[in-house]
Amino acid sequence: MLATACVFPFVFELKPDLLPKLRALPVPLAVVAAVQLVQAFVLLSLLSWTGLALGSSIGLDAPLLRSRVVDRERLPLPWRTLGIACAWGAAAGAVILQLDTLFKPFLPPPLTPIPEHIAPWKGFLASFYGGIAEELQSRLFFMTLVAWILWRVSGRSARPWVYQTAIVVAALIFGAAHLPATFAIWGFGAANIARTLVLNGIAGLVFGALYWRRGLEHAIAAHFSADIVLHVIAPL
């Protein structure tokens, strides 16, 4: 819920017409924001519970958090592997920035004026939403669900292809989840779709691999680092 609140300043600057529309509603803006936060809290709680319940059967988990909340035997923080995850995330962000320059000539003019750069502090806050909320949805829920279904269909066989397929499917879902925002800014178009799926899909593959091998916390660290590169370092 707090991560969702952090993304509000970023969204309002990305879509300048959104805040006036919300203020024009017959209910106070604070009530609208509270409803959004409660809705996000309930949805992410249900998705997280489902992902943790299904993942326990196939080795997909949040081991560091579980050791503190459930087992009460705190695992030592693996600073080395967390640092490597952050490096992978930052590298994914850098690759996305470079590839984005190849797509931009093919994009149509935006339907509405958009800021060339959003304030870095707003990008920093939004990175918590990407790292936490989007990983709860894309990896903990969707990737775990796909892997669990494949595991059941294949006779409860936890072979690498089960997880690898789930990583790819979740990466595609992760990319597709960004299409509505893309269409709202640039409209429909093959270049828009390809850019969104490819750029977000690359990041999704990295995050999914880390979730499989190291747990959800490593995927969160990588996603947060990628967003820091994209929304903080790049504007600076």
- Give which of 10, 12, 8 is closest to 230, Cα–Cα: 10
Whether the pLDDT of residue 33 is over 90: the answer is yes
**Tell me, what's the pLDDT at 163?**
97
**Is the separation of the CB atoms in 129 and 210 below 8 Å?**
no
Q: Tokens in use for 149?
A: 């279904």
Whether the pLDDT of residue 23 is over 80: the answer is yes
Average pLDDT taken over every residue of the chain: 93
pLDDT tens sequence across 52-76: 999 999 999 999 999 988 887 888 8
The residue extents of the domains of the chain are 2-233
**Tell me, what's the pLDDT at 106?**
87
**HSE on the CB side for 183, CA within 13 Å?**
11
Q: Write down the pTM of the prediction.
A: 0.94
Instruction: Give the integer Cα–Cα distance in Å for 46 and 50.
Output: 6
